[in-house]
Structure 1
Amino acid sequence: MTWVLRGLRWIRWYARELTDESAYDRYVAHLRRDHPTVTVPSRRTFERMRTDQQESDPRQGFRCC
């Protein structure tokens, strides 16, 4: 039974990494470790910052929609 749970955890981890859903968790860990006095933004604010940064980067190419 433990191998089933281990397999399900691995699948969940892999899916989160593949879709980059874990980016917020990594960002929060970074802020808490390296910048403890900074206020941690909400997930919504983080996603907005990330989208704005991606759209302003000329290497990302043309965005049609």
Structure 2
Amino acid sequence: MKKSSKHCFLCGKKTGLATSYECRCGNNFCATHRYAETHDCTYNYKSAGRRFLQETNPIVSAPKLPKI
């Protein structure tokens, strides 16, 4: 199990309880570097979102109507 650090992974700034943000890549960041674009996040949000939608919204196929 990884030990939680109380410093920003990118700049080393000390973060408190309310100002510490844990990213999905597994690192802690300060308020300045909390967004994925600012710290060059390695987590792929796009594929994770697509996978989540595929799991939660299965394809529903209705029975076809008989032709007259």
Which category describes the TM-score, using the shorter chain as reference length?
A: under 0.3
TM-score by structure 2 length? Answer: 0.27
Of structures 1 and 2, the one with the larger relative CO (CA 8 A, separation 6+) is 2
More helix by share: 1
Query: Computing the radius of gyration over CA atoms, which structure comes out larger, 1 or 2?
Result: 2
TM-score by structure 1 length? Answer: 0.28
